Chains A and B, each alone.
Chain A
Amino acid sequence: MDVTIVDYKSGNISSVINSFKEVAKDKVNIEVTSDLNKIKSSDKVVLPGQGSFKSCIDGLNSINGLIDTLSEFALNNKKPLLGICVGLQMFADVGYEEVETKGLGWISGKVSKIDNQNGKYKLPHIGWNQINIIKDSKIFKDIENNSHMYFVHSYEFIPNDNSVTAATTDYASNIVCAVEKENIFGTQFHPEKSDRIGLKIIDNFINL
């Protein structure tokens, strides 16, 4: 099996690569590339994302044909795709970080700054927070409810249709922290930095 981590020069993805390689061992081939043909032929795709919504969308746009290839992979061929952090946020129709930026539009919704209640809550939301699993998502197999995951973000994905929400976390309000829509998965937290429990989520995705 081939799992491709999309390398679109946006942010630091070495931790994502290390964690997937750790879980994959020799059973699964992990590719790190923006090569469209390799993405097309792979079985699963991981879309990481760090920095701002705009910088990540700009990064995807800077590689000719990448967005079309990813859309075909996820929407037409319905192969499993996992977005991490801004990778998840980009599924939305629109993001409001820096400037209003059009998203991929795969899961209807928007990405807005977390309401920190006039400074009552610090931003970014950094650290370990518990997830409240509300949907029996395949990537949460053998993951206990209220497990701790590592977060670092200031913006949140707000889907129009709550049925895509797989888990929420409590920070100033209930923040959507995992989504599942058919073959499309996303986590706002960083499974690659969430210790053994995070690696289990990666393992679940690889074994879908």
Chain B
Amino acid sequence: MLKNRIIPCLDVKNGRVVKGINFVDLKDAGDPVEQAKIYSDGGADEICFLDITASNENRDTIYEVVEKTSKKCFVPLTVGGGVRSIDDINKLLNCGADKVSINTAAVQNSKVVEDSSRKFGSQCIVVAIDAKRSKNGWEIFTHGGRKLTGLNALDFAVKMEKCGAGELLVTSMDKDGTQTGYDIDLMREISSIVNIPVIASGGVGSLDHLVNGIKAGASAVLAASIFHYGKYSIKQAKEYLNSKSIPVRI
């Protein structure tokens, strides 16, 4: 039976982890490679890096991080943030990323998704959808949640599936950072209208939130802060899901 995935996400800026785990035995809490290794050793089903480097001159730092991580972690590695072109995707894959997540570029030009999924295969193209509730359902935001596009999130999800996306990483901008749980309605709606896996993101503050995300139809649940700050380990999360009859890899 296919198991539901738990994906810890690390925010990386200028090659350093922004919010890190506070483990006593960690030599360098800011080192993304070491943190990723802790997660994969702890049973993470995948690792996600979100590059939030603002300046262009430091963009190359992520490549080095990915290259080093892929030599130490032997679970799938997804990298997103600032991915603009086929060339960016190619570089990340060559450095050892297994999947690349595309956000703003997919909204601006869906051909990037079409072309990249044809060139590299759908299996490595994840489209990240940042959605916020509005009076007309949910609308898409780009540029790290700063820019409203007026696009309907459900329509966009269907379009991205048609363009060849292999997975959708759906983040609720209303919930992100609140630790009050995923936007369950959003996850349920998107999961039910597409036939590709949905990764739920944004808002996790407790292990029950992970359970609710899966129950809403997500194939995988992504979380950042509950793992970073050592509130829960990956193992604890998996055991909890298992106790709630949600199939996970233990």
Binding site for B on A (CB under 8 A): 11-12, 14-15, 18-19, 21-22, 50-52, 55, 116, 119, 122-130, 148, 150-154, 170-171, 192-196, 198-199
> A198: which B residues are within 8 A, CB to CB?
74
B75 near A195 (CB under 8 angstroms)? yes
Partner of A52, one of B3, B94, B95, B121: B121
B30 within 8 A of A: no
Q: Closest chain B residue to A122 by CB distance?
A: B197
B75 near A126 (CB under 8 angstroms)? no
B94 near A12 (CB under 8 angstroms)? yes
B71 near A22 (CB under 8 angstroms)? yes
Partner of B3, one of A11, A12, A124, A129: A129
Given contacts A15-B96, A22-B74, contact A127 B123 (CB under 8 A): no
Chain A proximity mask over B1-20: 1 for CB below 8 Å, otherwise 0: 11111000000000000000
> A55: which B residues are within 8 A, CB to CB?
121
> B205: which A residues are within 8 A, CB to CB?
none
Q: How large is the interface on B (under 10, 10 to 19, 20 to 34, 35 or more residues)?
A: 20 to 34
- 27 sampled A-B residue pairs with Cβ under 8 A: A12-B97, A15-B74, A15-B96, A19-B74, A50-B123, A50-B124, A55-B121, A124-B123, A124-B166, A124-B197, A125-B2, A126-B197, A127-B2, A127-B4, A127-B197, A127-B220, A128-B5, A128-B45, A150-B76, A151-B2, A152-B76, A192-B74, A193-B74, A193-B76, A193-B98, A194-B74, A194-B75
Given contacts A126-B167, A126-B197, A192-B74, contact A170 B1 (CB under 8 A): yes
In angstroms, Cα B94 to Cα A122, docked, is 28
In angstroms, Cα B92 to Cα A15, docked, is 12
B109 within 8 A of A: no
Q: Closest chain A residue to B5 by CB distance?
A: A127
In angstroms, Cα B2 to Cα A119, docked, is 16
Q: From DSSP, what is the main secondary structure of chain B's interface residues?
A: loop
A11 near B121 (CB under 8 angstroms)? yes
Chain A proximity mask over B115-152: 1 for CB below 8 Å, otherwise 0: 00001111110000000000000000000000000000
B196 within 8 A of A: yes
Partner of B70, one of A14, A50, A119, A125: A14
> A19: which B residues are within 8 A, CB to CB?
74
A123 near B196 (CB under 8 angstroms)? yes
Partner of B195, one of A116, A150, A171, A193: A116
In angstroms, Cα B93 to Cα A26, docked, is 25
The 5 closest A-B pairs by CB, nearest first: A51-B121, A12-B93, A128-B249, A152-B123, A14-B96
In angstroms, Cα B195 to Cα A156, docked, is 18
B74 near A195 (CB under 8 angstroms)? yes
B197 near A12 (CB under 8 angstroms)? no
Q: Separation in Å of the A9 CB from the closest CB of chain B?
A: 11
Q: Closest chain B residue to A152 by CB distance?
A: B123
Binding site for A on B (CB under 8 A): 1-5, 40, 45, 70-71, 74-76, 93-98, 119-124, 166-167, 195-197, 219-220, 249
Given contacts A15-B96, A15-B98, A126-B219, contact A119 B195 (CB under 8 A): yes
B96 near A18 (CB under 8 angstroms)? yes
In angstroms, Cα B97 to Cα A184, docked, is 28
B120 near A50 (CB under 8 angstroms)? yes
Q: Separation in Å of the B142 CB from the closest CB of chain A?
A: 25
B45 near A14 (CB under 8 angstroms)? no
9 A-B pairs besides A12-B94, A128-B2 with CB distance below 8 A are A21-B71, A50-B123, A50-B124, A51-B119, A51-B120, A124-B197, A127-B219, A152-B76, A152-B123
Q: Separation in Å of the A14 CB from the closest CB of chain B?
A: 4
> B94: which A residues are within 8 A, CB to CB?
12, 14
In angstroms, Cα B120 to Cα A14, docked, is 13
Q: Closest chain A residue to B199 by CB distance?
A: A126
Q: Closest chain A residue to B40 by CB distance?
A: A195
In angstroms, Cα B2 to Cα A171, docked, is 7
Q: Closest chain A residue to B220 by CB distance?
A: A127
In angstroms, Cα B4 to Cα A47, docked, is 29
B120 near A11 (CB under 8 angstroms)? yes
> B220: which A residues are within 8 A, CB to CB?
127
Q: Separation in Å of the A105 CB from the closest CB of chain B?
A: 23
